[in-house]
Structure 1
């Protein structure tokens, strides 16, 4: 199958204004048609009544003497005043007064009998031309009809007048343009910040992270959009800068032991060092190899977890016993560090569902962090407390080290982030805390920095919903 045809895209401004204009124009057109029809019918009825009143007044003023009709003096002036009073347009108007025999007594404009017969029906009551309407009023003398007054007008002049057509057209045009202009301005106001955000997104995609709104809006939603996008751009800029620095740092951290190992081995092979000194160089190379191995393992573990290939089991664990065992084993491995570790569990037993191996990895990372942050001016002391808080098992690991600077605290869980102190004292990739947090979340828990100052730091590991067996708290010691 061939590729689908890409739909033609248009701007919000054009899309909404054109469609709204069409909808508004059609809607107002229907309304205007109904209104004009109603106006025409109302005007027709009103003007027919007006013509009837004029005919009745004229009929009352015409005097019948000896069977003949006689017009009052100054009849033309009287008729002019009445036409003006009743607002009757003389255009296409034919005013006729006839006697009982159908002879013309008066007409405006002047017409002969045969011309009248062409305009009116045989009974002189209706117009022959369908475009005209005849309004007839009899002239009575007692019970006898002496003649009739006929007003012959075009339907066009009765339905509407030119000023009425202009008024309806102006109203329709004003409403259409007013509605279109309103939506145009609103759409333009809405599209400007969106266009600005879209342009900024393209700039960010190109690697330019400086975002300036350039548009001030009163609408809270638009302001929230602009501010959120600005924060995102600033965050991306920071992450990109930090990624470049981290990549350089990771490369340096991996390169350093490789360079050191290469130099030590070359020194041994070339005979630069011999006997005991050569053995010492080999020991140093092995230590560097172990560090390199740990860094590579950190990278592999992190990548495996990020890709979802690292499994996390769910077993029922006695958390108190597990943490006590982890501390005991770590203390043996780091006996030469001289760390004083105190352990306190709020319950004799605390059962949770989790992965013992992953919890051990998290705890070892936290204990190693405490060891690496040791203050040179005081002996290292660490406290591990296990308690229940807000329905979760909480493990607090506290040290009395040099602490984490406040500016670095928001980034300590970012991958490859290493504080200035660690960069100077410890080799690593900055994945320990990142990996530990991922392991905690994979078990439905959370790892966070509770507090940190120049007197030390406290990390809190929250895990599962525990089932506890009441008992007295026990201090640190070898597991039974």
Structure 2
């Protein structure tokens, strides 16, 4: 039996007094099959009732038409050639044959009367009082409603009598065989409909059940879920594929979180250990004079580096939680970028860095926060400096381009480039490539924080290209 069929769990339900109580929730299989079956039964009951009523009314109409035909035949037989009424001696035999042929019930009454209402022939035999009652079509208390069909007997252009056939309206128009057939058809349709919805619901509930079980595993910290589900429905296939991809991504993020936590701890512990050792060496007179001063300078540099890493963490956390405001000023982008690059280059005058520009001749204005744009550009310049190739001097190319109502600030270096397997993750928080781990210390928040700053100003930060000859980043801003 399918496990989802009897799946029951508790869900909170709010009472009118504000308290919460537990309500039983059923599985999709039970919920759909039960309700569909009840709806199907109700619909089939209505259909059968309408069909039975229609068949009964049709049968009554056919019986009335048959009675009228019988009355016309009797009227033709009781009329003589001279225009008078005469009852044939074999009329009973003829009626027996006709009623057997027309399959008429025995409760049919037939009368032949003159214009004054005097009965000349009755079948079955009736008294004068019964004849008068039959000829009176008004319903009487305690007597079933009946239908009176009159066929006039015409002779020489005038009515010389009439044939009256009386039959009960409430006479069943169908027998036990017909009722059995209706019940059988009703049962087969109900069973077929229920079986259909049961099979479809089970086919639908199985992959959902598997996805729910996998979600519980992920909630419990197990990310290596097995979702080998084959389904022909496109929507279910998309659901399973999306969930499988989400599970893989969560697994990857959890691994990165653990590695990042270890990396952040290591990066913060390293300068603390270094500062502690340097200060202890000075305090214990291990070094003195100029050497002690040099040790203190190194300790100060390490403390400054640790302060920058802590500031990066605080800035990232503050901005990602929405606690940092971004200004919306009208800025001269050419002038702003030129000043940022000039200020950044001053501490690196001793380094062999070549910088060339490709700015348009006209003025370029954008809307944004000058301080946040400076943070982004400086971070991209520092990345270019860290990616410098050891066999060639660093060359930075800075361009401003316009396209489709947006302005792009492109910064291209001639460094070693980013490995292809790392390009999809460089904007993830705490991600650092193996080269950066070996050559530079940091927390891996620079590009992540820069992209957040760009998006907060209505722009975007993208990796345009990267290869052995260099890397290009593009900061897109609104015009």
TM over 0.5: yes
Deviations 1:263-290 (A, max 9, x none): 2222332333333443333232222112
Tell which deviates more after alignment, 173-182 or 347-356: 173-182
Once residues 137 and 166 of structure 1 are traced to their aligned partners in structure 2, the CA distance between those partners, rounded to angstroms, is 37
The correspondence of residues 93-172 of structure 1 with structure 2, limited to 5 A, is 93=107, 116-117=126-127, 120-122=130-132, 125=135, 129-130=143-144, 155-172=169-186
Please give the secondary structure, in 1, of the residue aligned with 2:144: coil
1:239 aligns with 2:258: no
Answer 1 or 2: higher relative contact order, Cα 8 Å, separation at least 6: 1
Which residues in structure 2 correspond to 1:261-276 (within 5 Å)?
A: 261-276=275-290
Q: Which stretch shifts more, 171-180 or 436-445? A: 171-180
**Partner of residue 64 from structure 2, selected from 48, 52, 58:** 48
Matched, 1:323 2:337: yes
The more displaced of 311-320 and 436-445 is: 311-320
Q: Do the aligned residues in 1 keep the contact of 2:75 with 2:153 (CA within 8 Å)?
A: yes
Aligned with residue 299 of structure 1, among 292, 313, 331: 313
Q: What does 1:453-464 align with in structure 2 at a 5 Å threshold?
A: 453-464=467-478
Contact 1:315 1:354 in 2 (8 A): yes
Aligned-pair distance for 1:422? 0.6
Check conservation: 2:454, 2:461, Cα contact below 8 A: yes
Partner of 1:38: 54
Tell me the distance in 2 between the aligned counterparts of 1:136 and 1:312: 99
Confirm or deny: 8 A CA contact 2:108 2:168 kept in the other structure.
no
CA change 1:103–1:416 in 2 (3 A) is: same
Residue 45 of structure 2 corresponds to residue 29 of structure 1: yes
RMSD: 3.7
Quote the Cα distance in structure 1 between the aligned partners of 2:197 and 2:122.
64
Between 1:266-275 and 1:4-13, the stretch displaced more is 4-13
d(CA) in 2 for partners of 1:15, 1:153: 51
Task: Give 1:96 deviation, angstroms.
Answer: 7.0
Q: Name the SS for the 1:382 alignment partner.
A: strand
SS where residue 389 of structure 2 aligns? coil
SS at match of 2:421: coil
Give the Cα separation in 1 of the matches to 2:173 and 2:245.
66
Does residue 384 (structure 1) correspond to residue 398 (structure 2)? The answer is yes
Q: What SS does the aligned partner of 1:416 have?
A: coil
Q: Decide which moves more: 156-165 or 318-327.
A: 156-165
- The one of 224, 230, 249 equivalent to 1:216 is 230
**Deviation, structure 1 residue 87:** 2.8
Q: Closer, same or farther in 2 for the Cα pair 1:325/1:149, shift >3 Å?
A: closer
Q: Would the alpha carbon gap of residues 189 and 449 (structure 1) be closer, same or farther in structure 2, given more than 3 Å must change?
A: same
SS at match of 1:159: coil
SS for the counterpart of 2:400 is strand
- Provide TM-score, normalisation by structure 2: 0.81
State the aligned residue count: 454
Alignment-derived partner of residue 85 in structure 1:
101
Quick one: distance in 1 between partners of 2:272 and 2:339? 35
Partner of 1:452: 466
Q: Please identify, of 383-392 and 149-158, the stretch whose mean Cα deviation from structure 2 is larger.
A: 149-158
Tell me the CA shift for residue 261 of structure 1. Answer: 1.5
Alpha carbons of structure 1 residues 326 and 182: separation in structure 2 relative to 1, 3 Å: same
Any conservation in 1 of the 2:87–2:121 contact (CA below 8 Å)? no
Q: Deviations for 1:13-45, whole angstroms, at most 9, x for unmatched residues?
A: 344444444444434434443433332222112
Aligned partner (choices 325, 330, 355) of residue 311 of structure 1: 325
The TM-score normalised by the length of structure 1 is 0.81
CA-CA distance at 1:11 after TM superposition: 3.2
